[in-house]
Amino acid sequence: MTDARLATAISHWGDRFTAAGVEPADFRKVTTSIDSWSQWCEAWTAMAAEHEELGRRALTEGRSRSAGEHLAQAATCYHFGQFVFLDDIDQAEAAQASATRCLDDALVHLDPPGRKEEFDFEGVRLTGILRLPRGATGPFPTVLLIPGLDSSKAEFRRVEQSFLDRGVATFALDGPGQGESRAVMPMRADWEAPGGAALDHLARLAEVDAERLGIWGVSLGGYYAPRLASADARVRACIALAGPYTFGEANWDELPDLTRAAVRRFSGSATEEEAHRFALTLSLEGRAKSITCPLLIVFGKKDRLIPWADAARLAAEASGPVDLQMFEDGNHGCTNILYRHRPYAADWMARQLQAGA
């Protein structure tokens, strides 16, 4: 009998994984080697370990660029092994720790290199990765990259590159309930608070132009980004990719079991009913009208998680200039048609922040 959770993961996540840089051959190798969801994290951890071993060997041989590539790839595979794996929390947390370790070790060897930044927020330390465009002089326009429910900064190398190539620095953040910050703080609805703290930190950095700050968010991060933009005038431009208007309002019961379980786990809810009540607080009701900066909304009508009407509603209620890119054939995150929106979004952000000016 087919494992329903595994079948759902394989059928829906292939585009997302390759969009984040996972090799298609690696995806096929892992997913054809297992027949149960319970094997998911272990199989991806084994794949990640292969990449990590190649990276460690490259380091000992002085091949630093290759080391960075291998270690960053390992981090991505470790991340995808644990991202909604709730069957064995200890196993998932070990994979998360490995993802953090590999990404930290990769940063200095990336092109352009990255730098880990930490800042205080409500008594805990949140972490992000700062990368600066190569061959240019700062301070730089900078875009804050915001993950979603199950994503983290380990997924963002290719997204980062699209902005870096256009002269825009990136700051990929693990916010509350995300990545390595998950251990210190659960997810929350009022993202103007942690997002504002991240902007405070960026504004203090000499390499960052505090007058040219943008934000980009994907999936639930596509809610966090406009929520932050609605409350912080420092945001000069906002991109919302596949974000909800109110999460779970129209389709909670139709969401995949893994998604509902992730909301429960990462929000610290005791029951699914409590998780649903929490999800309904993730809302732009009464806030969208306060978004006055330029707003780019990217959405696919074949999104299985978020109703496309949520994007249309946000576009109708925002008060500033809105560019709604709605794709008839786009899936969640439009990962099946990256070529149609990722370059456009990077160009749009660079133009709004006057990159190169």
Instruction: Write down the CATH number for the domain with range 1-111.
Output: 1.20.1440.110
Cβ atoms of 153 and 182 closer than 8 Å: no
To which residue do tokens 């960075």 refer? 68
All CATH 3.40.50.1820 domain ranges of the chain, comma separated, are 112-357
Q: What is the pLDDT of residue 123?
A: 95
**Nearest to residue 107, comparing CAs of 151, 60, 175, 153?**
153
| Pairing state between β 124-131 and 169-174 | antiparallel
Q: What is the pLDDT of residue 187?
A: 96
Task: State the DSSP string of 170-218.
Answer: EEEEE-TTSGGGTTT----S-THHHHHHHHHHHHT-TTEEEEEEEEEEE
Task: Return all residues near 41 (Cβ < 8 A) that are at least 6 apart.
Answer: 81, 82, 85, 87, 88, 91, 92, 95
Q: Output the CA torsion sign for 71, 51, 85, 42.
A: negative
- For residue 38, give the DSSP letter: G
Q: What is the pLDDT of residue 138?
A: 86
CA dihedral 25, 111, 170, 135 (to 10 degrees): -140
Q: Domain 112-357 has what CATH class?
A: alpha beta
pTM for the complete prediction?
Answer: 0.96
Q: What is the pLDDT of residue 1?
A: 42
- Stretches in the chain below the pLDDT threshold 70: 1-2, 357
Report how far residue 45's alpha carbon sits from residue 78's, in angstroms, rounded to the nearest whole number: 5
The one-letter amino acid at 179: G
* N- to C-terminal Cα separation, the chain: 59
The one-letter amino acid at 185: M
Tokens of 307: 């109703």
Report how far residue 7's alpha carbon sits from residue 3's, in angstroms, rounded to the nearest whole number: 6
